[in-house]
Every structure is written in C-alpha cells, then in structure tokens.
Homo-oligomer: A and B are copies of this chain.
Amino acid sequence: MVIVLKNDVTDAQINELVDWLQTFDVKTNLIRGLHSKVIGLVGDTTKIDLESVQAKDMVYEVKRVQEPYKQANRRFHPEDTVIEIENRKVGGGKFNVIAGPCSVESEKQIIETAIAVKKAGATMLRGGAYKPRTSPYSFQGLGKKGLEYLLKAKKETGLPIVTEIMSVSHLDQFEDIDVLQVGARNMQNFELLKELGKTDKPILLKRGLANTLEELLMSAEYIMSNGNMNVILCERGIRTFEPMTRNTLDISAIPLLKQKSHLPIIVDPSHATGMTSLIEPMSLCAVVSGADGLEIEVHPDPKNALSDGAQCLTPESFESVMERIKACVEFVGREMDKN
C-alpha cells in the first residue's frame, strides 16, 4: 500500500499515522519530496481498510499495491484449478459447453432440449427453475417443479445440471443439482455467497452488470474464504451506453482473469449480446481468448419461450454453431469434454 500525504502535513501528524499503521503489523517507509510525502507499507495489508486510510485528514491518496484477493489469486496458486463435475473437468484444458433454455417450462420441453443439445455436443444442461426477472409480472420460473424436471432430464441424458439459486432458503432443494449458478444481479449478495461457501458444490459465479473484474474476484473470495474452492467465473457482458446489444461482452476479461486467477472461466454469449446472430462469433472469440467453456441458451421453440426468446438458438442453429465451436477448440489445441 502506498499512501500519498498532503503537502502541508506536519511531522506530528505523520508520526500519529505511522503509529496507527504499525498496529496492523506492517512496516512503513517515508519518502519526503518537495511537493509531497509518501508512505510505503511493507507486509500483509489486506486487513487495512483503504477507505479508513483515505479518511485521514492528511491523506491525499491511497493506492493498494497487492491485490486484495488471496484464495483466487494466481500469484499464490500458479496451477489452474480443475473442477470435476460428473467426469467432466472444468478448467484443466478441456472445453465445456453448457446449453439449454433460459427457463424450464415443462418436463417435455427440458427433456427434448437436453436430448437435442447433447446430440449437438453440449457437455452440461442449463435451465432456470428460479428466474430473476426485472418485472414481478413476468414469468418467475417453475421453482421446485423445475428442479425436478431438470433432474429427469439428467437421468435421461446423463448431462450434469447447471441452474440458478436465488436464495439461501432454497438451498436444500439443490442437493442433487451439479452446479449452482449465482446470477449477475446476485454477484454481490454476500449473504448468499457466504452460505454457498459452506457447501462443496461447484458454483458458477456470473459477473455483475457493472462490476469490475476485481470485484468479481472478491466475490469468488467470499465463497472460497468460507471453504468452497469450486468456483467457476463467468463473463456475461457489462452495461455500457451502446444500445444495439443487450450488454457489451468484455472479451478481454478472459485472458486478464486467466492472468490474475487460477479459477476456470466461461463465457455466456447469449446474455452478453441478446442477439442470436452474434452467438456464433462471440463463442469463437471465447475459445480463442482462452475461456474454458460457454453457456448458451437453446430452446426448442424460441418464438414461444416464456423468457429471453430473442437470444435463444433453436436446436438446429445450435448444432451448426457447435460445429464451428468444435473446429475452433481443435484449432487452439484443446479438446471438447465428455458429452
């Protein structure tokens, strides 16, 4: 941590600040300049609250040098984390494609979709039973019933299930679910993250609409510091001023997160763009930028989908997109995971 002091700070003030800082078990170094004085801190500064330091009258600016995340930090865990999900491996070089409808709408719909996406090469099945919708008047998902249908689809196809959890109080319903997804709007629902940290379930953590990559890693840290190391990060587009796409896919986040963290990372091109015509090119970008997988919305009848129809592929178009994805995965020297 580097603390830049104001011009007119007195020696007494500096001493007071230094004394306080040393209560955190760090060493301090003072540089005296013509126009400014700077204190450099040596040691573990994660316990020092940046804003409390900023609050001091004499402080002009504070800058953290160490990243505030530890468990998720590649610096301390150079090896890629690999998460096992029913014989699939997320993160170890294999490429996974999670596909399925935005919402589970019926037993028939989800089983049909599961069979279709498996046929096309998907390695896991997604489908929302609990749906975070902007409007209380929109379809909110089938809930418990939806989870049951998902498990039937798993029985039918062998595909592991990825589905969103919206509340700690639903946790017991997710016992047989393979991967618990935390949606963008809940990325900083810290109470939920803490509870998920106490399970050993793989967690698919989506980046919030306006959250920085550091905040995403800090949310992963909430789960990991509570004991659960099975976190998969997901880039799904951020909110910008551009109105043509639903969100803006931040594709450079993939190689950057790979540098900063050892956790697996996947891309959701469906929510990132909101347009079916962009799913194929964005999927290929995910592959060449180093992502470990994709999450793609597929619906047997997008026109009549109860949610997010505009961004759903049909099984036929998904098959064609998958052909390109598989070729691209091979091009980058990786392999599709077990299907």
Contacts and interface: CB of A to CB of B under 8 A. Distances in A.
B281 A288 contact: yes
Interface residues of A, number: 109
Which of A47, A191, A239 has the largest number of chain B CB atoms within 10 A?
Answer: A191
A306 interface: yes
A243 B29 CA distance: 27
> How many copies of this chain?
4
A318 B69 CA distance: 33
B51 A308 contact: yes
A33 B27 contact: yes
A2 B54 CA distance: 17
B212 A305 contact: no
Contacts of A46: 135, 137
A255 B278 contact: yes
A34 B38 contact: no
Interface string A195-225: 0000000000000111011110010011001
A31 B132 CA distance: 35
A185 interface: yes
A155 interface: no
B66 A282 contact: no
- Top 10 nearest A-B pairs (CB, nearest first) are A55-B309, A210-B210, A33-B42, A284-B288, A31-B40, A54-B310, A185-B188, A167-B191, A285-B285, A29-B31
Interface of A: 2, 4, 27, 29, 31-36, 38, 40-43, 46-47, 49, 51-52, 54-57, 60-61, 63, 65-66, 68, 130, 132-139, 166-169, 185-186, 188-192, 194, 208-210, 212-215, 218, 221-222, 225-226, 238-245, 248-256, 259, 272-275, 277-278, 281-282, 284-285, 287-290, 302-312, 327-328, 331
